[in-house]
Amino acid sequence: MKHDNFYSLLPKISGPIAGIGVDILYTSRIEKALTRSCMRFAEKILGLEELQNFYIRRNKNIKKSIKFLSSRFAAKEAFSKAVGIGINIPVRWKEVQIINSNNGRPTLFLSPKLFSWYNKFYGKFHVSISDESDMVIAFVVIEHKDKSYNFSN
């Protein structure tokens, strides 16, 4: 299915929110995938800057690196759900990176190719990631590109 036409099939939605995605998972699931794949799993999921951050964490604390990888996996899944197409062209694992700002706030960075597609349909996006001892959760909220909402039904 061509994604440009996909959105013409959806009902028009009023309001500022275009999509919400959430993903929650046990970190043990990611740890098992990482163990089975001898690190190839991390290389498949993470973009270049994320991968560098992962290896730095891995050298210091293996458990924290697994939590880092788990949180990035969950955030990318949440983003793919928010845009409504899942991990499918043009949304690919490495096309989305989650980089923390200096104050620790996670921010989505889209590859130029993905941004070009995204920018046709959507405006700002917001991501929140949280973790507990054995779980991570990520939320992504995306806004409509057009700010002229029609709140009357």
Quick: pLDDT tens for 128-152.
999 999 999 999 999 998 755 444 4
- Is 85 domain-assigned? yes
Kindly compute the dihedral angle of the four CA atoms of residues 80, 6, 110, 127, in this order, to the nearest 10 degrees: -40
Question: What is the model's pTM?
Answer: 0.85
Q: Is the pLDDT of residue 96 over 80?
A: yes
Q: Name the residue range of residue 117's domain.
A: 18-144
Q: Provide CB contacts within 8 A for 124, sequence distance 6+.
A: 142, 143
- Is 120 domain-assigned? yes
Query: Element (H or E) spanning 140, and its range?
Result: strand 135-144
- Is 7 domain-assigned? no
The number of domains in the chain is: 1
Burial class (CB in 10 A: 0-12, 13-18, 19+), 45: buried
